[in-house]
Amino acid sequence: MILFVGLGNPGGKYAANRHNIGFMALDRIASDHGFGPWKSKFQGEITEGTLGGEKVLLLKPMTFMNLSGQSVGEAMRFYKLSPADVTVFHDELDLAPGKLRCKTGGGHAGHNGLRSIHQHIGPEYHRIRLGIGHPGHKDRVAPYVLSDFFKADQDWLDDLLRGIGDGAADLARGDTGRFVNAVALRTAPPRSSGGKAKAEAPDQKAPTQKAPEEAEAPDTRSALQKLADRFR
């Protein structure tokens, strides 16, 4: 079994917050791939399904962000999973809005949800970093992540979540390259060059040349013959 964890805060008050983009990612995967109804377990909400031939558990901790590790640790112990079986979806201040990066191990960079997970299972789990941008100053971080996405954010946010749904099966199989490509096809689709060769207009024809046999023969008459011929 593989465990996908989405980070966020419980309750309608926080549902559309930037900090809850991890919850949004899991909701998209569950919706796109026909997972069962969410149930309360492991101090969180869970649902099970299959992705890429792998059995996958989706978990949204309901402990509030700074205690997320309690829920993750419970689920891991129950299913006898290792950190290598866990992938956490979370908001990332250090990435531009709509950008996505995959990472395994490393520090928590001050993210309260990751800090809690580090404390309960260690750092060697997989992470899907979902860019939300930075407010510009550390004193504005807390109100920024606990505020809703702007209306202007909805297009890139929808593209990002659709891409995550598209690539979820690849991620479950461990193919992060194909997963990232699936997301990129939504967030940065390739553009056609738009340059087309101009077709030659049907009435524009190259000038024709006379065939050799059509060229005029040289005049070999004598001056007297030419004069006589003029009066004939």
Catalytic residues: 19
**Residue 12, phi-psi category: left (phi > 0), alpha (psi -120 to 50), beta (remainder):** alpha
Q: Report how far residue 184's alpha carbon sits from residue 134's, in angstroms, rounded to the nearest whole number.
A: 21
Report the distance separating Cα 87 and Cα 156, nearest Å.
23
- Give the burial string for 37-62 (b: 16+ CB within 10 Å, else e): ebeeebbbbbbebebbeeebbbbbbb
Q: Are 110 and 84 in contact (CB under 8 A)?
A: no
Residues 83 and 124: beta-carbon distance below 8 Å: yes
Token pair of 215 as six digits: 């060229």
